[in-house]
Structure 1
């Protein structure tokens, strides 16, 4: 079987079937991750909420028995939502964070909506600083690190009146304004590419500032500014993105966290789930 985890001592590969476009259930995810040599699985909060405290406590050992650990969980809070919605989700987050912590999950993240029709950059920035700090307070108390993923394609951030954070440099400014060592960045090679960034931009980060990594390639035949956020390729599929430089920079800073694939690829979604996982494992192995 493909053993993606054996390719590097720095990263650990994480299987996220949701990111591949499948939802076969948690036990199937664990079976497939084991079969194809992944090191980790993405926590499924919906599944975790169905378990008792005793069942949650047993999960880390059960995963370890299969050679697995946890990757990064999603944060069920929309930081761009209207105030009332955000406030409600923030209240609910404490229970969600407790569930994740009880299962041994230590990383969670969300994405930054890179535009607004109503908020200027400065107003949006101030709101994000405040809201990230509030979410982080809950997650940090539960022992969970918080990652923010920027979205790079111009075809997305230019679609509303006011562009917002969509580059690594801007994320670093946001992190500095929040001022919490518990908050970091989720790096996606696709967003790194569409933002026109280089390996040296990654080397400006410390290893502790990187919470999780997504490895994707980009479709061929499009200019950088024509790339669409929801149309990507498996790592190394086209060579449009210089993944060797991306991965090399992560090695240089000593990153030692999860690496997953999130291609939003229609062709991959049409495959049987086992075949899709096999292709993903093969692509990761080749790139890493």
Structure 2
């Protein structure tokens, strides 16, 4: 990818950076690199923000002039990583400890979106796993709404290289239409869909999976490209590329998001070890270049 230019492309999609793309660096350094590269919005780990000191993080983001678009860790798994929705019951109950404090921290950072991941596979039978997911989504969404925070639920569509905490012998949900149906069944409007372009591609890259979500259903978007010449069942998160560097049709994605009424942050999320090995400043600059230049549809660039 060529070096980024200083100017930004204006349009309905707001460039955002996920901390996983710059894995392993302190929060304040991440914020400095993101804003230095031109990002107006970022995602954060809420546990990391709490450990750093919410008031101090608030001062830093105000100083940098950056907004926190979304936060992971509504269910925490250690000091930085989030836990998926279908952890075992004892772990889930433990994850609920400090939930209000985490949501208060999100609200203090003016963050209105809490992201969470639904397991694509589970040790539980499919019907039971979906019932548990519905119950937990409703519980978390109701609690989050009291703090002015909305839940953004992500479905995982890759089938290869799943981490153990997301895997199991029984399928749960791995497409956006299935997720939308599950959210409808929760009976809450406090949870929406997180669209991830890489997982959307792994599920077949059907634009109707996005457009059929309709207005106000998409609460957050994460973006990464897929390599050329890979079958969808061969895709793994470690193959994620900068948007625009791979095989995805970004015009199609932009069109689908626009038709669905989405005009918010698009967050670059990479787990590719080769790209993560680049200097952190280069990763941030290339990510911003990708998030602003991959779109070619008129609606995304005018």
Q: Return the TM-score normalized by structure 1.
A: 0.89
Aligned to 1:72: 70
1:34 aligns to what?
A: 35
Match of 1:126 in 2: 131
**Distance (whole Å) between structure 1 residues aligned to residue 104 and residue 43 of structure 2:** 17
Aligned residues: 281
| Partner of residue 233 from structure 1, selected from 237, 241, 247 | 241
Report the alpha carbon displacement of residue 2 of structure 1 after superposing the two structures with TM.
Answer: 4.0
Partners of 2:91 and 2:180 lie apart in 1 by: 27
Partner of 2:148: helix, strand, or coil? coil
Q: What is the alpha-carbon distance in structure 2 between the residues aligned to residue 225 and residue 51 of structure 1?
A: 39
| Residues 1:54 and 1:188: Cα distance change in structure 2 (over 3 Å) | closer
Question: Does the C-alpha gap of structure 1 residues 227 and 136 become closer, same or farther in structure 2, counting only changes over 3 Å?
Answer: same
The CA distance in 2 between the partners of 1:262 and 1:52, in whole Å, is: 24
2: distance between equivalents of 1:53 and 1:235? 31
Q: Which residue does 2:298 correspond to in 1?
A: none
Given that 1:3 and 1:38 are in contact with CA atoms closer than 8 Å, whether structure 2 keeps it comes out as no
Give 1:212 shift: 0.9
* 1:198 to 2:203 alignment: no
1:101/1:143 contact within 8 Å kept: yes
CA RMSD of aligned residues (A): 2.2
1:88 aligns with 2:119: no
Aligned to 1:267: 274
SS at 1:149 equivalent: strand
Counterparts of 1:50 and 1:263, CA distance in 2: 24
Structure 1 residue aligned with 2:15: 13
Counterpart selection for 1:141 from 126, 138, 146: 146
User: Pick from 147, 155, 160: which aligns with 1:150?
Assistant: 155
For the residue of structure 1 that corresponds to 2:221, the secondary structure is strand
Q: How far, CA to CA, are the matches of 1:285 and 1:88 in structure 2?
A: 40
Residue number in structure 2 paired with 1:216:
224
Please give the alpha-carbon distance, in whole angstroms, between the structure 2 residues aligned to 1:208 and 1:7: 24
- Identify the residue that residue 105 of structure 1 maps to in structure 2: 111
Measured after TM superposition, the shift of residue 55 of structure 1 is: 4.5
| Offset of residue 266 of structure 1 | 1.5
Gaps of 5+ in 2: 76-82, 296-302
Q: In the alignment, is the contact (CA less than 8 A) between 2:71 and 2:114 conserved in 1?
A: yes
The aligned counterpart of 1:255 is 262
- Provide closer, same or farther for how the CA distance between residues 237 and 94 of structure 1 changes in structure 2, counting only shifts above 3 A: same
Alpha-carbon offset, residue 3 of structure 1? 5.2
The 3-state SS of whatever aligns with 1:208 is coil
Write the deviation string for residues 208-264 of structure 1: whole angstroms up to 9, x where unpaired. 2111111111122321221123321111112x2222101221122221221111121
Contact residue 74 and residue 103 of structure 2 kept, 8 A = no
- 1:112 is displaced (CA, Å) by 1.1
TM-score, length basis structure 2: 0.85
Residue 299 of structure 2 corresponds to which residue in structure 1? none
**Aligned match of 1:45:** 46
Structure 1 ranges of 4+ moved more than 3 A = 1-4, 50-56, 62-67, 156-160
Q: CA deviation at 1:159?
A: 6.3
